[in-house]
Amino acid sequence: MTDAETTPRTGKRVLLAKPRGYCAGVDRAVQTVEEALKLYGAPIYVRKEIVHNKHVVRTLEAKGAIFVEENEEVPEGATVIFSAHGVAPEVYEQAKERSLKAIDATCPLVTKVHHEARRFAQQDYDILLIGHEGHEEVIGTAGEAPAHIQLVDGPDSVDQVTVRDPEKVVWLSQTTLSVDETLETVARLKQRLPLLQSPPSDDICYATSNRQHVVKEIAPECDVVIVVGSRNSSNSVRLVEVALDAGARAGHLVDFAHEIDDAWLAGARTVGLTSGASVPDDLVQDVLAHLAERGFADVEEITTADERLTFSLPQELKRDMKAAAARG
């Protein structure tokens, strides 16, 4: 008999979302720092948080990673890793000026948006970048073509948009947005700019879309949805919003199980549980254990997609790993 079968049924249950947690881009970025530490030894410098998760950052710090805000904080000649969110071209130039060994851990799906931005700018398009002001990914993408890009921060900012030629305008987006809100923003933009072009393929990443989709499925049945993730994680914050929009009675974002307030569970029969794309699954397991202690031992995993995508490590790191292996 399994533990679940021997646990008395209380009528309280957890609907566990799948897919949840780590996406391919986050997995690659975290692995990049871990492999760099093994290969080059500590310290390894990382510009900005490698991914937006407190636990991941603390774990890597304990292994010898030093997180900095800017390249100027990295000693000349040292190794620096750029985060999964991507950087503007000027950041690469700054690294060269300081003779830094730069390893780019930008998620390939963010890199795709950077390529699109450069291509449309070369064709002299006005580019409307849908995203959140100040987010690292938006700063990096905008830096690819600052003269051509203007930020559209949600549907309410559409009225401020001005373009040179309404026949030569395209929209791109941050990869971690709410799918529904982005579609609403695009619809409003098209009311003003009927000839607005769309990106060749969806900019919102598969993992963001998949995590939002399964939350929409479970939310209507949930008294409360708990999202494991950090407050500076755009995709985690969006999951709480999506849950509430889809019918959950309440939604909360926590980094760790101990942050769950018992008052949230008072009177609840069904708790939904998911995690953002930068969250390791052991944090979700901690929440499941915490909920089980409070009578929510009946766990049903709801699966809406099977994610198999993986990304290879950055070329510069793979090359050095291969050389080190050849030396024996």
CATH of the domain at 151: 3.40.1010.20
Cα separation, 79 vs 306, in Å, equals 36
Q: Tell me, what's the pLDDT at 2?
A: 43
Number of folded domains that form the chain: 3
Q: Is 70 designated active site?
A: no
Catalytic residue of the set 35, 49, 136, 137 = 137
Task: State the CB neighbour count (10 A cutoff) for residue 41.
Answer: 10
Q: Tell me, what's the pLDDT at 328?
A: 77
DSSP classification of residue 268: -
DSSP H or E stretch at residue 240: helix 234-245
Tokens 């947690």 sit at which residue? Answer: 21
Asked if 297 and 218 sit in the same domain, the reply is yes
Cα separation, 225 vs 71, in Å, equals 39
Annotated binding site for dimethylallyl diphosphate: 52, 85, 135, 233-235, 278
Identify any residues that bridge with 225 across adjacent strands, giving them in sequence order.
251, 272
279: left (phi over 0), alpha (psi -120 to 50) or beta: beta
Cα separation, 251 vs 225, in Å, equals 5
| 198 is a domain residue | no
Asked if 182 and 250 sit in the same domain, the reply is no
Task: Provide the strand spans (E) within the chain.
Answer: 13-18, 44-47, 65-68, 79-82, 101-104, 126-130, 149-152, 169-173, 224-228, 251-254, 270-275, 298-303
Annotated binding site: 23, 52, 85, 107, 135, 175, 205, 233-235, 278
Tokens 């957890």 sit at which residue? Answer: 14
| 5 is a domain residue | no
Q: Tell me, what's the pLDDT at 9?
A: 56
CATH number at residue 85: 3.40.50.11270
- The answer to whether residues 305 and 210 touch, using CB atoms and an 8 Å cutoff, is yes
Q: Tell me, what's the pLDDT at 10?
A: 65
Asked if 114 and 159 sit in the same domain, the reply is yes
For 81, the domain range is 24-106+310-326
- For 50, 74, 99, 216, the CA distances from 206, given in Å and listed in that order, are 20, 34, 36, 15
Cα 213 to the center of its chain, rounded Å: 15
Tokens representing 31 are 């692995």
Can you give the pLDDT of all 328 residues of the chain as single tens digits?
A: 344 444 445 689 999 999 999 999 999 999 999 999 999 999 999 999 999 999 999 999 999 999 999 999 999 999 999 999 999 999 999 999 999 999 999 999 999 999 999 999 999 999 999 999 999 999 999 999 999 999 999 999 999 999 999 999 999 999 999 999 999 999 999 999 999 999 999 899 999 999 999 999 999 999 999 999 999 999 999 999 999 999 999 999 999 999 999 999 999 999 999 999 999 999 999 999 999 999 999 999 999 999 999 999 999 999 999 999 999 7
Asked if 225 and 296 sit in the same domain, the reply is yes
| 226 is a domain residue | yes
Asked if 182 and 239 sit in the same domain, the reply is no
**Which of 137, 168, 192 is the C-terminal boundary of a domain?**
192
**Which of 192, 215, 240 is the C-terminal boundary of a domain?**
192
| 232 is a domain residue | yes
| 199 is a domain residue | no
Annotated binding site for isopentenyl diphosphate: 52, 85, 135, 233-235, 278
| 6 is a domain residue | no
| 130 is a domain residue | yes
| 169 is a domain residue | yes
- The answer to whether residues 286 and 304 touch, using CB atoms and an 8 Å cutoff, is no
Cα separation, 138 vs 160, in Å, equals 18
Q: Tell me, what's the pLDDT at 3?
A: 47
Asked if 41 and 62 sit in the same domain, the reply is yes
Tokens representing 234 are 């755009």
Cα separation, 193 vs 178, in Å, equals 22
Task: State the CB neighbour count (10 A cutoff) for residue 114.
Answer: 21
Task: State the CB neighbour count (10 A cutoff) for residue 231.
Answer: 11
Annotated binding site for [4Fe-4S] cluster: 23, 107, 205
Q: Tell me, what's the pLDDT at 4?
A: 43
Asked if 116 and 184 sit in the same domain, the reply is yes
User: Phi and psi (nearest 5°) for 217?
Assistant: -65, -45
